[in-house]
Structure 1
Amino acid sequence: MIGLIIAFAVGLVLSISLTPLFIRYLVHNHYGQFIRQDGPTSHMTKRGTPTMGGVVIIFATVVAWFIGTLINGGLPSWSGILLVFLFVGIGFIGLLDDALKIMHQRSLGLHAWAKIVGQVAIASLFTWGILTIPNVHGRTPGIFDISLARPLGLTFTQWGIVAAVILIVLWVNFIVAAWSNAVNLTDGLDGLAAGAGIFVFVAYTFISYFQLLQSCWGDTLNVAACYDTRDPLSIAIFCSSLVGALAGFLWWNASPAQIFMGDTGSQAIGAAVAGVSILTDTEFLAILIGGLYVITTLSDVIQIGVFKLTHKRVFRMAPLHHHFELKGWKEITIVIRFWLIAALFAVMGAGLFYAEWVSQL
């Protein structure tokens, strides 16, 4: 437990102290946000606000995770290393995207194909990693099963090992791309994505730490309900570190934001949700835990789909938070209410996880 607390504290202190220094650097070099012309007109006042704040989130999280791991008396686990690799790797693609937007002063950064190729390469390497280097119990960080709160018994290996490998690579790539884009779409108002992320990773800190307490290789007496997930403590420390980093960043990102996380931050946070859900065997439970991100994405999908079919709009503007902006809601009102929704989804997800465990007793 001490490792989790230290990791949170280090992530918070690093993020809240380094962000203003990074803001000064960005302002000095005129690295400001480009605002899309078709967005709400109220957003034009945000033009030039420093972006790429995700760099601080990533740095603070990784350092805090490493320190928390050492405090706990061990070296980084294979699961933790893979999670950090995915988090940093996808964040780096977001950084390139942000940098190109600033350089060209337009809302389009990396070419879509370049972004896809980069994400596929990183997610595929992550997939290879989670299926290799078993621990002393023979458990690799990832498995070939589809999971809710634990494996559902639906395994890709039923179609043979070659097909299973292809399917798991496609499955992991889909999860990483889906969550990265979901968080990216949600990052449209000051503090919205960061605040929602805090609730998501608090829930996952609880889930991964509970899996440690009820590990099949620990002292638990509930053999029928135990978890055989690999390195749950390392995952819990990472989640606690990210909560601290997001909280520290939110101090400067809350309305009116002095810095934006950019694609650097949103893509990395989405990758973290994907990675943690895969490593804790909770891929489908993550849909509930990150429900706000899911709803935001669905609003965009619905808007585009309906418009293509009927040439009519369901929402005044998508994603959903812009719809309420155009209805006259103040930005801070939308953000706080959406935070409450995010908290509700996270609590329901953690509650469902615990209820499933109780049902196994």
Structure 2
Amino acid sequence: MRQILFAAMIGLAVSICLTPLLIKIFAKRELGQEIRVDGPPTHHSKRGTPTMGGIAIIVAMWAGYLGSHLIGLRYGADGISASALLVLGLATALGFVGFLDDSIKLRQRRNLGLTATGKYIGQLSAAVIFGVLALGFRNDSGLTPGSRDLSYVRDSSIISLGTVFFLLWVCFLVVSWSNAVNFTDGLDGLAAGSMSWALGAYVLITFWQYSNSCASRPSMGCYHVRDPLDLALVCASGAAACIGFLWWNAAPAKIIMGDTGSMALGGMLAGLSITTRTELLMVVVGALFFAEILSVLLQIAVFKTTRQRLFKMAPFHHHFELAGWAETTVTIRFWLLSGIAAAVGLMLFYAEYLAAHG
């Protein structure tokens, strides 16, 4: 428990201190965000706001995780684990893809960065490497970071995907979640605040899995997860990094996380869902992100079939803006929805434990 607190405190301190430094550097070099021409008119004033603030989030996540382990050495805590490094590695790899996208936007002075093909190549490459490695690193109990079984709250023996289909499943999750968070990052503080709820929920989920691990406490309802406590450190440092960044990103934002941050955070959700065996539960915990990408898909489908728009603009947070809601109103209400989704996810997680514990 102490390590979790250390991870959160270090992640928060690094994020809240590093972000203003990035603001000064990027503002001096005029590395400002370009705005969609067809976006809400109120967003045009944001043009030139420093971007790529996701760098601070990624650095803070690593600092929180590694710093907590350095402190943990003093009282004999376990070392770093394969599961945690894989999740952080996936987040960092996708953050690099986002960084390339942001860099092209800044260099070309437009709101279009990497081509769709370029993004998919980066996302799929990271996903395949993660998926292959997740099936390795077997520990003394025979557990690997990932599992070929489809999971809701734990592995299901009913649906086993096999190696090839598992890798395809990983690719789908990585592309879906990274794009979902990317679409959500359209209002000041929306993505960072919503991610804080989701990762906060996963701090509790992973700590509960650690407290009821089959490796240490074999019983009805125990969890076969390779490194639950270390994943709790990742979640704590990630949530704290988002909160520290939110201090500067809340409306009116002094810096934007950009694709660097949103794709990294989406990769973290995908990686956590796989390593904690909660791939389907993540849809509930991250319901806001799921709704955002679903709104884009529905907008495209309806427009192509009827030539009519389902929403005034997609992702659907812009729909409410164009309907007259203030940006801060949309953001705060979406934060509340994200918190409710995280709470419902926790309730479903615990209800499944009670049912399995019998």
TM category, shorter:
over 0.9
Structure 1 residues 4-153: aligned runs within 5 Å = 4-72=4-72, 73-153=77-157
Matched with 1:217 is: 215
Matched with 1:195 is: 193
Larger mean Cα displacement after TM superposition, 144-153 or 332-341: 144-153
Residue aligned with 1:154, SS: strand
Aligned mates of 1:80, 1:237 — CA distance in 2: 8
Give the counterpart letter for 1:132 in structure 2: G
Give the counterpart letter for 1:122 in structure 2: A
Give the counterpart letter for 2:39 in structure 1: G
Residue aligned with 1:344, SS: helix
Deviation digits for residues 290-329 of structure 1 (CA, Å, limit 9, x no counterpart):
0001111111111111111001111111111100000110
Structure 1 residues 116-265: aligned runs within 5 Å = 116-156=120-160, 164-219=162-217, 223-265=219-261
Aligned mates of 1:123, 1:175 — CA distance in 2: 9
Give the counterpart letter for 2:199 in structure 1: F
> TM-score, normalized by length of structure 1?
0.96
Offset, 1:74: 2.9
Offset, 1:80: 1.1
Aligned mates of 2:137, 2:323 — CA distance in 1: 53
Aligned mates of 2:275, 2:71 — CA distance in 1: 22
Residue aligned with 2:22, SS: helix
> TM-score, normalized by length of structure 2?
0.97
Contact 2:154 2:224 in 1 (8 A): no
Offset, 1:71: 2.9
Deviation digits for residues 18-73 of structure 1 (CA, Å, limit 9, x no counterpart):
10011000001110000010000110000000000000000001111111233332
Matched with 1:341 is: 337
Deviation digits for residues 195-236 of structure 1 (CA, Å, limit 9, x no counterpart):
00000001101001100000001135xx12000100001100
Query: How many residues matched?
Result: 353
Q: Give the percent of matched residue pairs that are identical in Structure 1 and Structure 2.
A: 46
Aligned mates of 1:25, 1:75 — CA distance in 2: 35
Compute the RMSD of aligned alpha carbons: 0.9
Where does the alignment leave 5 or more consecutive residues of structure 1 unmatched? 158-163
Aligned mates of 1:18, 1:85 — CA distance in 2: 21
Contact 2:4 2:236 in 1 (8 A): yes
Residue aligned with 1:33, SS: coil
Aligned mates of 1:9, 1:278 — CA distance in 2: 26
Aligned mates of 1:89, 1:296 — CA distance in 2: 23
Aligned mates of 2:266, 2:137 — CA distance in 1: 25
Matched with 1:161 is: none
Contact 1:52 1:95 in 2 (8 A): yes
Aligned mates of 2:344, 2:287 — CA distance in 1: 10
Contact 1:132 1:140 in 2 (8 A): yes
Matched with 1:266 is: 262
Aligned mates of 1:79, 1:67 — CA distance in 2: 17
Offset, 1:75: 2.2
Matched with 1:291 is: 287
Offset, 1:154: 3.2
Deviation digits for residues 234-280 of structure 1 (CA, Å, limit 9, x no counterpart):
10000000111000000000000000000000000000000001000
Aligned mates of 1:255, 1:149 — CA distance in 2: 36
Structure 1 residues 309-328: aligned runs within 5 Å = 309-328=305-324
Aligned mates of 2:284, 2:88 — CA distance in 1: 23
Where does the alignment leave 5 or more consecutive residues of structure 2 unmatched? none
